[in-house]
Amino acid sequence: MINLLHSELYKLRKSKSYKVAAVLSVLFVLFTYALFGIMQNMGTGSGNPGTMEIVQKLSGIGIMDIMKQMFANCNAIIFATIFMCIFVINDYSSGAIKNFVGKGYRREEVYLAKFFVTELGAVTLYLLVAVSVLVVGIAYFGTEQLTGAFWTDFGNYLTMQILYLTGYTAINVFVCAMARNMASGVLISVLGIMMFSGPILNGLDYFLGFLGADFGISQYWIMSVISNCPVADIPSGFIVQSGIVAGGWLVAAMTGGMILFSKRDI
């Protein structure tokens, strides 16, 4: 297992998709701030009533709002997803996976090594985004916002988002191992998991409500907790509930992935 991790870490270090995802993530943070700057500058001029309303709302924005924009609105996760899909599926599409299986390791170990290093890559991408938001935010807003409460909110929010990311990564690696094809893997991950899962589950909630059920299944979906996590003063109830959701998906998807990989022909 150690050897496999050693090898996967080397691949991560050499991965072009990882480097590209890292650069794009930072560029997207800069783009978000630039867009914010343009909108704010518009506030000094004149505009139609609708535009001015948006500008007035923007004037109260701080670093934590940009954090929310990057994480809750799935901007950071989309770059992480592209990296994950390429990093995992490349082993299948190139046939390289054949050189790891049947070499004295259990298949579960081969899967887990890939999974752990993919998690590591995704988490470091998240950290890079958070640091970029912070550094560019300080350059943009100054240090006035950096109070004790800010650091608490920043740390808590980032920790929660990283916790959710681990669950999401488990699902994504499982999907990629199942798809084994770059096009379908990316398509299922980006469209199926990220974009359409929310509306579909909300629709199911509505349907269950219509049937008289007093619970919604969307709150147990990882993308829901990613979006619904408050940026400040996270309630302890939400921490526990979302932690269970993330942990549940992590364990379920990781176990499912190991079983799938151990049984399937290569």
Partner 1 sequence: MKQEESGKYVLRTENLTKIYGSQRAVNAVNMHVKKGDIYGFIGKNGAGKSTLMKMVAGLVAPDEGKIELFGSSDIEKQRIRIGSLIEAPGLYHGMTAKENLEVYRRAYGITDRNVVNDTLDLIGLKDTGKKKVGKFSMGMKQRLGIAIALLKSPDFLILDEPINGLDPMGIHEIRDFLTTLNREKNITMIISSHILGELSKIATAYGIIRNGELVDEFSAKELSVRCRRCQKLVVDQVERAVNILEEELQIKEFDVPEASVIRIYEHLDDAKEINHRLMLAGIEIKESYLAGQDLESYFMERIGD
Window 8-37: residues binding partner 1 (CB under 8 A): 10-11, 14-16
Of residues 173-202, which lie at the interface with partner 1 (CB under 8 A)? none
Map residues 72-91 to x or -, x wherever contact with partner 1 holds by CB under 8 A: ------------------xx
DSSP letter (8 states) at residue 234: -
The residue range among 5-13, 39-47, 145-153, 155-163 that interacts with partner 1, by the rule CB under 8 A, is 5-13
The set of long-range contacts for 214-223, using a CB threshold of 8 Å and a minimum separation of 24, is: 219/245, 220/245, 220/248, 221/197, 221/245, 222/164, 222/167, 222/168, 222/171, 222/246, 222/249, 223/74, 223/168, 223/193, 223/194, 223/197, 223/198
Q: Which stretch binds partner 1 (CB under 8 A): 46-54, 93-101, 183-191, 235-243?
A: 93-101
For partner 1, which is the closer residue by CB, 12 or 217? 12
Q: Measured from the CB atom, is 23 or 135 closer to partner 1?
A: 23
Distance of closest approach, residue 91 Cβ to partner 1, in angstroms: 8
In whole angstroms, give the CA distance from residue 261 to residue 121: 21
Q: Are 5 and 113 in contact (CB under 8 A)?
A: yes
Looking only at residues 98 through 137 of this chain, which bind partner 1 when binding is defined by CB under 8 A?
98-104
Rounded to a whole number of angstroms, the minimum distance from the CB of residue 186 to partner 1 is: 17
Taking the complex as a whole, the smallest distance from the CB of residue 115 to partner 1 amounts, in Å, to 15
**7 binding partner 1? (CB under 8 A):** yes
Q: How far is the CB of 154 from partner 1 (least distance, A)?
A: 35
User: Which of 54, 127, 191, 266 is close enough to bind partner 1 by CB under 8 A?
Assistant: 266
- Residue 121 in tokens: 């890559």
Question: Residue 175's CB: how many other CB atoms inside 10 A?
Answer: 23
Q: Rounded to whole angstroms, how far apart are CA atoms 116 and 87?
A: 12
Among the listed residues 41, 56, 73, 94, the single contact to partner 1 using CB under 8 A = 94
Smallest separation, CB 97 to partner 1 (Å): 7
Question: Smaller CB distance to partner 1: residue 86 or 250?
Answer: 86
Tell me the CA distances in angstroms from 175 to 32, 120, 155, 171, 199, one per residue in order.
Answer: 30, 18, 30, 6, 20
Contact 72, 229 (CB under 8 A): yes
CA 160 to CA 154: how far, in whole Å?
Answer: 10
> Judged by CB under 8 A, how many residues of this single chain contact partner 1?
25
Least distance to partner 1, CB of residue 74, Å: 27
Cβ(115)–Cβ(257) below 8 Å: yes
CB of 190 to partner 1, least distance (A): 22
CB neighbour class for 155 (10 Å; exposed up to 12, middle 13-18, buried from 19): exposed
- Structure token pair of residue 250: 């992590």
- Give the footprint of partner 1 on this chain (CB under 8 A): 3-4, 6-7, 10-11, 14-16, 90-91, 94-104, 263, 265-266
